[in-house]
Structure 1
Amino acid sequence: MHMKFKTLKVKSTKLLLYPLLISFTAVSLTGYTFGNGSTTKSPKEPISYVNTYGKNMNKGYVLDLIKKVPIVDSRIRKLVNANSLAALKKLGYYQERFKDKNLNIRSALIHLQSENNIKPDGKWDKRIAEIVLKKLAGLNTTPPDKVLDIPSVGLWITINKSKNILTLYEGGKPVKKYPVAIGNPSTLTPSGKFTIVNKVVNPAWGGGGYAKPIKGGSPSNPLGYRWMGLSIKGGSSYGIHGTTDPYSIGTYASHGCIRMFNFDVESLFPKIPTSIKVFIGNEEELEIWGITQGEVK
């Protein structure tokens, strides 16, 4: 079958899309594809990602060619959508942290969403495709956070209960954003301005009044391997901690604490001191405090 393709002018040169399209087609046959709007809200629901993963996934080099083609070209958008996993791997979001490949995909997506102030629901949609395309083209996708009344010139934290995103700031600049799980319903996680009053490695879990206590360091401990207690009821009732339920991250799932992936909380733990300020609230409450966390446009 013969196919004709138009040429694109890039910096006074012509680039034929034919080899690019053929290369991407080869990758698409070996990569995951994501249905628009696919998501996993709990570990009990079926995974809706389509798995066609093969052995030749290391062909992501073709994504480099995106930088040579105007991103306004609709064919490039189709290629990115058809090669979602290759794009996530190229950008470093996809990491094989879990034996469950679908959980690795979800982790990649919700970290990318959180980084761009999008509620982490694990969906590959038009917004994410556009951000991925811009990143592959080397364009800026910094979220437009604004802090009118900076509470500290050093490090401080916000937890957005509307978006399930924890943001680490330094002064008025966001340093890192993480997807989190909060209370179900969200009101179980108290709103307010708090501080971290204690930090514990391998915390013991008391059972919450409904289960047997579990010693610290146990793989079955629902607190994971790190605890950062909030200045509520002495620092032992509400905190930021790890989890044994990684699929819950990005959802409303806890009894009031803030859950993180274990690898995320272990990364955050050494960065922050006790007494660091932690502002917890929904979008409206954060805005009252002069903090806006809009999506990347």
Structure 2
Amino acid sequence: DGYQRSQPLPSSTPGLSATPAGTPQLPISSGLSPSPSPTAGSQAAASYPIPTDRDSIVKLQIFLDLHTFSPGEINGRWSDLCANALQKYQSANDQSGTGQISERLQQEFAKLTPYTSYQARAEDLQWVGKSPLNPAAQARLKKLPYPSLIDFVAERFHTNKDFLRSLNPRRNLGKLRPGDTLQVPNVTPFQIESIKPAEDTAPKPQFGGRSIKIDTKRKSLDLIEGEKVIASFPITPGSKQLPAPVGTWKIVKISFFPFFRWDRAMLLHGKRSGDYHNIPPGPRNEVGIAWVGLNKKGIGIHGTNNPDAIGRTASHGCIRLTNWDVARLALAVTQEAKVDIF
């Protein structure tokens, strides 16, 4: 799949191993193997309310993210996306999906350190640059980079610029430069530089037993192995004008750093025209850094140029995830996998 990992992974239950954010990591473990999860037999009867203070919410969001039950952006605010991720995690780990915090879960996420530091590097600037908004002008570029260094750092640590500003109130993040150090969420970083462009990746037969279920009402995508949910991600599932196509489909293509065919007629009405622009790849390409194409023309699961909007706004018939989540998903599935949209 074009990726290499510098250290072996755990091999027990699904998710990501909890690694300090300063440690070099790829966007995902393709085996989706996490640190051990609390089990049903270890659950105490006591339950705790959802935390209300920022740092405790961040810890719980990080815990879910590390186990590939993504809450979306790490931002210290509880939301429907977080509640859905918690219920999915509990149900997948033989716990009642009540959304309440068990004593064991409280102990697990309380151990986490919510923040770490990141020093911006000169090589980060290769992912930063100015891009026009006009599709015709974009099509003349070689890539669509992040508009600023703080955008790069925000996506790297699964968060947004506003939250980074709240963590670093004394720093002008609009003037962030290589060598500057700032506080960031202590998640496994999304290392965009580790992703190699690929028109279509080689099949991964070891993932032949995996499938995807997409719930357009709950705005969630579940990755299934056998009968077990091993990961879940928040999504934006189409719009009223162009809803995500309900039915059973299959994956036919998995691309990294795809071009995007910008066609107004396709975006508005779902029909291709001869008036289009080929938008170059990059994190601010409209389909983000990965495309998981389905056997329905023009429809796929993909990333985004606006992670703040995931789970909250509409797309053009496709299934949209954050770039860090779609990278994890695209590495963990293979062609011919079944995709149920309902």
TM-score by length of 1: 0.51
Q: Does 1:279 align with 2:340?
A: yes
Q: 1:251 aligns with which of 287, 312, 330?
A: 312
Deviations, residues 110-139 of structure 1 (Å, cap 9, x unaligned): 255235249xxxxxxxx75x2376621569
Identity score, percent: 26
Q: Which residue of 1 aligns with 2:249?
A: 194
Q: Does 1:261 align with 2:322?
A: yes
In structure 1, stretches of 5+ residues that fail to align are 1-66, 96-101, 119-126, 140-151, 282-297
SS of equivalent residue, structure 1 residue 158: strand
Larger Rg, first or second structure (1 or 2): 1
Deviations, residues 227-256 of structure 1 (Å, cap 9, x unaligned): 0111112xxx00000001112211341010
Q: Which residue of 2 aligns with 1:88?
A: 58
Deviations, residues 77-115 of structure 1 (Å, cap 9, x unaligned): 4xx6342432432662488xxxxxx95317985255235
Q: Which residue of 1 aligns with 2:294?
A: 230
**Displacement, 1:206?**
1.2
Q: Which protein, 1 or 2, shows the higher relative CO under an 8 Å CA cutoff with sep ≥ 6? A: 2
**Displacement, 1:167?**
0.4
In structure 2, stretches of 5+ residues that fail to align are 1-41, 66-71, 90-97, 110-206, 268-275
The CA distance in 1 between the partners of 2:77 and 2:229, in whole Å, is 20
Equivalenced residue count is: 179
The CA distance in 2 between the partners of 1:172 and 1:70, in whole Å, is 27
**Displacement, 1:187?**
6.0
Instruction: Say which is worse superposed, 200-209 or 267-276, in terms of deviation.
Output: 200-209
Q: Which amino acid aligns with 1:179?
A: P
Shift of the 264–219 alpha-carbon distance from structure 1 to 2, 3 Å rule, reads: closer
Q: Does 1:171 align with 2:171?
A: no
Q: Which residue of 1 aligns with 2:84?
A: 113
Q: Is contact 1:93-1:108 (8 Å) kept? A: no
Shift of the 219–182 alpha-carbon distance from structure 1 to 2, 3 Å rule, reads: same
Shift of the 84–240 alpha-carbon distance from structure 1 to 2, 3 Å rule, reads: same
Shift of the 247–209 alpha-carbon distance from structure 1 to 2, 3 Å rule, reads: same
Q: Does 1:208 align with 2:263?
A: yes
Shift of the 85–199 alpha-carbon distance from structure 1 to 2, 3 Å rule, reads: same
The CA distance in 2 between the partners of 1:245 and 1:273, in whole Å, is 26
Q: Is contact 2:253-2:293 (8 Å) kept? A: yes
Deviations, residues 124-178 of structure 1 (Å, cap 9, x unaligned): xxx75x2376621569xxxxxxxxxxxx981001000110110000111111111
Shift of the 219–81 alpha-carbon distance from structure 1 to 2, 3 Å rule, reads: closer
Q: Is contact 1:222-1:243 (8 Å) kept? A: yes
Instruction: Say which is worse superposed, 251-260 or 184-193, in terms of deviation.
Output: 184-193
Q: Which amino acid aligns with 2:291?
A: W
SS of equivalent residue, structure 1 residue 136: helix
Q: Is contact 1:184-1:254 (8 Å) kept? A: yes
TM-score by length of 2: 0.45
SS of equivalent residue, structure 2 residue 253: strand
Q: 1:157 aligns with which of 191, 207, 212?
A: 212
Give the CA RMSD over aligned residues: 3.6
Shift of the 179–91 alpha-carbon distance from structure 1 to 2, 3 Å rule, reads: closer
The CA distance in 2 between the partners of 1:262 and 1:107, in whole Å, is 20
